[in-house]
Amino acid sequence: MSMSAPAGATGVITVDLGALKSNWQTLAALVGRAECAAVVKADAYGLGADHVIPALKAAGCRTFFVATAEEARQARLLAPSAVIYVLDGLLPDSAPALADIGARPVLSTLDDVRAWAELCRARGRPLAAGLHIDSGLNRLGLPEAEVEAVAADADLLAAFELTLVMSHLACADDPDAAMNTAQHRAFERLRARLPTAPASLSASDGLMLGKPYHFDLVRPGYALYGGQAFQGGSTPVVPVVSLAVRVLQVHDVPLGETVGYSATWRAVQPSRIATIAAGYADGIPRHLSADSASEGGEVKIGGAICPVVGRVSMDLITVDITDAPQPVARGDWAELIAAELPIERVAKRAGTIGYEILTRLGRRFHRVYVE
């Protein structure tokens, strides 16, 4: 494997920006007349907003969603003329900073709405903002009573420019969940009380539920990065991320000896073990540890997918390469995320979801961007 990483890099995350762009274009085509935005919160799901935002912009994306004011500031520098929505809405006193950079808060409480309206009055113009209404997730968004309070207050509504009414689905990954239709109905009912504005209900999985869920704008994040969370079929996206780490040592472990902290794995045959340069400090879940009784993670190494053995430690993982068809040597690359080892598979083994694997990949890994 050839890798344009600096000498001494212990691990390399390769981000395929060409795949990222084509994923956005595929989803944009899938939703037809609805606008396809991009969710780039948490440093573009850990992949590096400073590369991901320009690539998506080049692909044609005009609207970005971030979580925080700091993320909005970074996004604004990268995309000076894009529409930027801030999903966390307003914190007390954060409105002026958002207004200064032309970012649009997604207002999610009546207090948020009042604070934004007040700022608009002070500045003498109706600044754009989105409104997050709660359709049943009970996480963030105006409950019905607050939607009614906003709808009944003409002065409040006149103070700012309502550019998006959105809500968020709880069970979009499951196309059979009754909650999807219930939330769709609640969203329709609540937004009808408000002045007409572009509407958005769906993220990566919701857009896979079909046209009724597209409304005017969809907000995919995970799928753009190659994620396959939707359970009702495969999302038409390709992998974007791979992760390779260095082999530091290869050694033979005699029958009966143990490997790693707490001596949880014991060799039942003479074994060959590769130690690779990644650990829980790099976001590789400790739940990928394997003892003699239970399986853990997998690593592509020596031409095969080999099992993790023993504990995942802070900086190191041990892998049983006894049955690998090709020789493995110090300095070789071992793959933790690859075509055969998609993030969903890694996540399942660790008892988590691909989102968590992606967003926790550590800062020690070098990131390489290819087209």
- CA dist list (Å): 350 to 42, 205, 301, 311, 344: 21, 22, 19, 13, 10
Contact residue for ligand PLP among 24, 222, 280, 365 (CB under 6 A): 222
DSSP string, 130-184: EEEB-SS--SSSB-HHHHHHHHT-HHHHHHSEEEEEE---SSTT-TT-HHHHHHH
Give whichever of 141 and 260 is closer to ligand PLP, judged by the CB atom.
141
104-107/128-132 β-pairing: parallel
- Spell out, one character per residue from 32 to 51, where the chain touches ligand PLP: x when CB under 6 A holds, - when not: -------x-x----------
Any contact of residue 218 with ligand PLP (CB under 6 A)? no
Which H or E run includes 271? strand 271-276
Residue 56 contacts ligand PLP per CB under 6 A: no
Task: CB nearer to ligand PLP: give 221 or 302.
Answer: 221
Instruction: State yes or no: is 57 an active-site residue.
Output: no
Out of 19, 75, 87, 164, the only residue in the binding site for ligand PLP (CB under 6 A) is 87
Residue 203 engages ligand PLP in binding (rule: CB under 6 A): yes
Binding of ligand PLP by 367 (CB under 6 A): no
Among 57, 191, 219, 345, binds ligand PLP (CB under 6 A): 219
Task: Please say if 211 is a catalytic residue.
Answer: no
- Residue span binding ligand PLP (CB under 6 A) among the ranges 186-194, 221-229, 292-300, 304-312: 221-229
Q: For residue 281, what is the enclosing H or E element? A: none
Of 282, 273, 294, 293, the closest CA to residue 337 belongs to 282
Contacts of 65 (CB under 8 A, 6+ apart): 37, 38, 39, 40, 41, 84, 85, 86, 87, 106, 219, 221
The CA-based diameter of the chain, rounded to the nearest angstrom, is 79
User: Closest distance between ligand PLP and the C-beta of residue 26, in Å?
Assistant: 14
Residue among 21, 41, 57, 300 flagged as catalytic: 41
Is residue 221 a contact residue for ligand PLP (CB under 6 A)? yes
* Structure token digits, residue 278: 């990644």
* CB nearer ligand PLP, residue 296 or residue 342: 342
* Closest to ligand PLP by CB, 280 or 355: 355
Residues in the chain: 371
State the catalytic residues. 41, 261
